Structure 1
């Protein structure tokens, strides 16, 4: 009954277009230049920060992750090691966060000196993978009690897959993690063009839901959108290690966007080690590239597209109170956030970051396709979103 984790349930995103030219890995990671990563790395590399990756496990044999992966725990099948990854998704996500570049041949993470705490929340069999909400709940609590500062959840469960009892337990786990000073980020989901369901844990109070933008900093059509979106990050044409095949593949999804947002948070936190998750999130929200139209937060990119360099290089953004999560309503009512006076409604069309954001981030503003030679023809993008969608009618 062993299967490649969730293989029959993942969203298959399509074929890679025929390669026109060979590009270096650095060129494929277009978002690093956009965010001026090289300049930021002179100030912060994420050293001293641990990111808990709640996913399918992490393969420690990946050269990009050598010496970066802690022991972790499998919260679904305790007898199995979290440092294995039958699916490959958790490994790909970890590379985007903390990859070392493997001598220029592999993926370079946005926070290359951060460490990864793997927490497995998806089982390797059909039976153990039927309902991963309990595993997710336990993993959040485990991460809250660990030394990890950031909890990365590149996954999304549509509302109809989370029953009332589970939702209550999930919120309590999130509340506990926030009370422990953690920063929680989760993907908004990848069915924005179809059902566009509310998803959890992105919609849990205190969790920053992350949508995806493309190389023109425009919201992707596939990103789920709604009031649960807090930030946006690059999530299209993102190179990852091919799942089940050799080489590197072009991928897309809010899984990837969440990982890149976690890397950005690690850079900021490493520069300000005395801050907690509430303060890092508040600065990320304040320095984000705001929507060019409509109200803030918008349904598509929330408070905007991440711009970590505004804090890392320019010290912009006020951390505010360590005791108040900017996404949780204050006692007096209303969100305690940089835009607390503004409605959570937004314009009815996809948005991009501000023109100032696009210009200041540098690089080519064009959205030319990334075509490269890899050892595979199928891309699995978006990761663990739409998990168990075929069980909707049950």
Structure 2
């Protein structure tokens, strides 16, 4: 049973795209016109105050490994952004071949330049190290492939390892992945992994997000609320925007949702911070991210739904907040900043700092009953495509469901 991705496409992007539907039927929309709609719809960049952050840092000098389906380095926004990488699959071809698109979209969300109207990444001067880990259906094989991919990333200069996928399993089923995670953390890498999109309906923990020291990433929506489909529990360390994210759908454009996308945005946030403070260790970058996250006012911290809160790199880069603290102590393992709720607090209260944009400030708890909400489809394979679900293609208004692959590779958006 292979790891699956957690990312779904769901809605058309804009009125322009809807108008374009008729034009596509008659003769097609020029790719540039479709691409322009991507950059114009990346609302979360404004919400996160990206322009202000980019005056301080764009991620230069940071390598982010994307352990995924490969990365197509030829698309406009990724030209010059992608390193050589490696294909760890049982039948390797090239890390730059991505027949699915999931890895390419994650890479673009992290380090896309926005060239020719393509996806503008949050850390556009970071470099992407593609590590392809397409797997077959055997759990022992998947464990070995993902384990090798993580070790490769750590050995080839990746300060940040983005794993927008996970396996709903027990940790003992994944010894090689667990060993590789420990190895990478000791080498100084910071690992972000998606927690999954089943709304906990399967009652499983997604690994590697669930391994100690790994930052499990959940998703919030445009209003700063934890989404009903984002998994909860102890595996959630941080959350980020993971809804209404424009992505490529082949030759078209979709909006997407998933903890895959939230993980990519969290990895890019870390790249911005680490680029500004290259002397910091993985633990110190994570510590300031936890300190400056928008905290929930309700429940325990870390919260079951939003962990230590929603990422706000602007607090570090623009406002100068955060104390990096000790270099060799992992703040997640030390439970730094953990608190118990006050008796008077309710589960519906938003996060602090109401003067800021909702999606950047509120890490509000979702109601407990939402933890059982269903997501986009069944889950019979082990590795879960973090966010795979329903898509409507912009400009064509064609809805379809991304079917999780049962016989081999991870299901992707």
Q: Residue 255 of structure 2 aligns with which residue?
A: 250
Where in structure 2 are the equivalents of 1:88-99 lying within 5 Å? 88-99=101-112
In the alignment, structure 1 residue 38 sits paired with structure 2 residue 59: no
CA contact (8 A) 1:10 1:384 kept: no
In the alignment, structure 1 residue 225 sits paired with structure 2 residue 232: yes
Q: Which runs of 4+ in 1 moved over 4 A?
A: 9-15, 21-24, 126-131, 362-366, 379-385, 387-390
Where in structure 2 are the equivalents of 1:1-394 lying within 5 Å? 13=8, 16=11, 20-22=15-17, 24-77=37-90, 79-103=92-116, 105-123=117-135, 131-159=141-169, 164=172, 166-192=173-199, 194-242=201-249, 245-328=250-333, 335-339=334-338, 342=340, 354-356=351-353, 358-361=354-357, 373-375=394-396, 377-378=398-399
User: 1: distance between equivalents of 2:41 and 2:124?
Assistant: 17
Secondary structure of the 1:157 match is strand
Secondary structure of the 2:174 match is helix
Cα separation, partners in 2 of 1:28 and 1:50, compared to 1, 3 Å: same
Q: Choose 375-384 or 77-86, whichever is displaced more.
A: 375-384
Higher RCO (CA < 8 A, seq sep 6+): 2
What is the CA distance between 1:310 and its match in structure 2? 0.3
Cα separation, partners in 2 of 1:229 and 1:285, compared to 1, 3 Å: same
Q: Residue 332 of structure 1 aligns with which residue?
A: none
**Which string of whole-angstrom CA distances, capped at 9 and with x for unpartnered residues, describes residues 23-49 of structure 1?**
843441111111100010011000110
User: 2: distance between equivalents of 1:139 and 1:374?
Assistant: 37
TM-score, normalised relative to structure 1:
0.82
User: 2: distance between equivalents of 1:153 and 1:364?
Assistant: 23
Secondary structure of the 1:354 match is coil
User: 1: distance between equivalents of 2:215 and 2:405?
Assistant: 17
User: 1: distance between equivalents of 2:404 and 2:310?
Assistant: 21
Cα separation, partners in 2 of 1:383 and 1:311, compared to 1, 3 Å: farther
Cα separation, partners in 2 of 1:373 and 1:365, compared to 1, 3 Å: farther
What is the CA distance between 1:175 and its match in structure 2? 1.5
What is the CA distance between 1:79 and its match in structure 2? 3.9
Q: Residue 27 of structure 2 aligns with which residue?
A: none
Q: CA RMSD in A?
A: 3.4
User: 1: distance between equivalents of 2:287 and 2:218?
Assistant: 17
Q: Residue 3 of structure 1 aligns with which residue?
A: none
User: 2: distance between equivalents of 1:286 and 1:30?
Assistant: 25
User: 2: distance between equivalents of 1:383 and 1:116?
Assistant: 26
**Which string of whole-angstrom CA distances, capped at 9 and with x for unpartnered residues, describes residues 124-179 of structure 1?**
xx56899422111111111111211000000011015x6x2x43332222111111
Q: Choose 60-69 or 20-29, whichever is displaced more.
A: 20-29
User: 2: distance between equivalents of 1:53 and 1:11?
Assistant: 14
CA contact (8 A) 1:223 1:253 kept: yes
User: 2: distance between equivalents of 1:248 and 1:352?
Assistant: 35
User: Structure 1: any 5+ residue segments left out of the alignment?
Assistant: 1-5, 329-334
User: 2: distance between equivalents of 1:384 and 1:29?
Assistant: 29
Secondary structure of the 1:185 match is strand
Cα separation, partners in 2 of 1:380 and 1:120, compared to 1, 3 Å: farther
What is the CA distance between 1:359 and its match in structure 2? 2.5
User: 2: distance between equivalents of 1:78 and 1:189?
Assistant: 27
What is the CA distance between 1:122 and its match in structure 2? 1.2
**Which string of whole-angstrom CA distances, capped at 9 and with x for unpartnered residues, describes residues 265-321 of structure 1?**
000000001111111011100000001311211000000000000001111111111
User: 1: distance between equivalents of 2:213 and 2:118?
Assistant: 34
CA contact (8 A) 1:48 1:270 kept: yes
